[in-house]
A and B are shown apart, each in its own frame.
Chain A
């Protein structure tokens, strides 16, 4: 990214934009560079997944996916040049998503052991399950 694009926030485009153009105009170079970066990251995520890091594979895949997602949001979706409020709508939704997944995962993990115990014919305190 050149500085010429970074200062632009709303009304005026750059790089040959017509006078009075609404919104930020992204240059072709930026679009192509962003696309190529995303392709490289896709290949990276495939390469990483084919190696066995055990549980870290999930972390690796999610980290790369998050980087890719951020690039799409910031450049393709123009959030880098857009009103901050739009950024916080997306960011807020993602926070809620993470919060919901974490809490429910936390909850299910907490009681899964008891459920398995019960399923195998015992109550939580180890006594045989009543018929």
Chain B
């Protein structure tokens, strides 16, 4: 054994995990800075961009992640109390919640890609009917220059040279995409954890991986707690 006591070993592993989590916060800090700068300088861009996001989907995902955070914390308790069945169930529920999160995210992404609400210069809405309803009302009387169609005028207004919604969606896809990758990594970790728990690897004195993966999962939840209102709610 490399440590004086199991307690020492546990605390050292945990310290390493916390250093990693601190780094995660700084990692996302760059994206939060990009968000703040764009939002600070282009309020309209965010106001219009938000019409494309559905707060009900974002809200549902928030609840799903909060619930999974609870089951993740619960799995640590089960490991500590040597409740093997409870451990397996809580790990499975946490994984299922992560999968639900990604499925909802998939619907959100595919809809945006379908209507052409995507990043940078690729932002180009295909047809007026596919705009979100409040935006259709807002833009129904947009002046259409000679020789242009209504949707071209709308794209001129919303896209490059106009409000620059391509930048909004670049920020949106970067932030939620990087967060989504973290969720996928978490799902992988929970599969690994499930297999190890199935084999009965954990007991009240040895459950570091359950604890550290739960910590990782909580930071993923914590970042979403900020992403949700910043992107979906305050336009």
Contacts and interface: CB of A to CB of B under 8 A. Distances in A.
Interface in B1-34: 6-7, 10-11, 14-15, 18-19, 21-23, 25-26, 28-29, 32-33
Chain A interface SS verdict (over half): helix
Contact of B225 (A72, A75, A112): A72
B189 interface: no
6 contacts: A17-B81, A49-B234, A96-B29, A105-B36, A105-B40, A109-B40
Contact of A42 (B33, B66, B81): B66
Interface stretch (B153-161, B173-181, B192-200, B215-223): B215-223
Interface of A: 10-11, 13, 16-18, 20-23, 25-28, 31-32, 34-35, 38-39, 42, 45-46, 49, 57-58, 61-62, 64-65, 68-69, 72-73, 75-78, 82-83, 85-86, 89-90, 92-94, 96-97, 100-101, 104-105, 108-109, 112
B19 A49 contact: no
Nearest to A11: B7
B73 A31 contact: yes
Interface of B: 6-7, 10-11, 14-15, 18-19, 21-23, 25-26, 28-29, 32-33, 36-37, 40-41, 55, 59, 62-63, 66-67, 69-70, 72-74, 76-77, 80-82, 204-205, 207, 211, 214-215, 218-219, 221-222, 225-226, 228-230, 233-234
A105 B25 CA distance: 18
A49 B41 CA distance: 21
B18 A90 contact: yes
Chain B interface SS verdict (over half): helix
Contacts of A85: 15
A82 B21 CA distance: 15
Nearest to B211: A23
A18 B81 contact: yes
Contacts of A93: 21-23, 25-26, 29
A97 B23 CA distance: 11
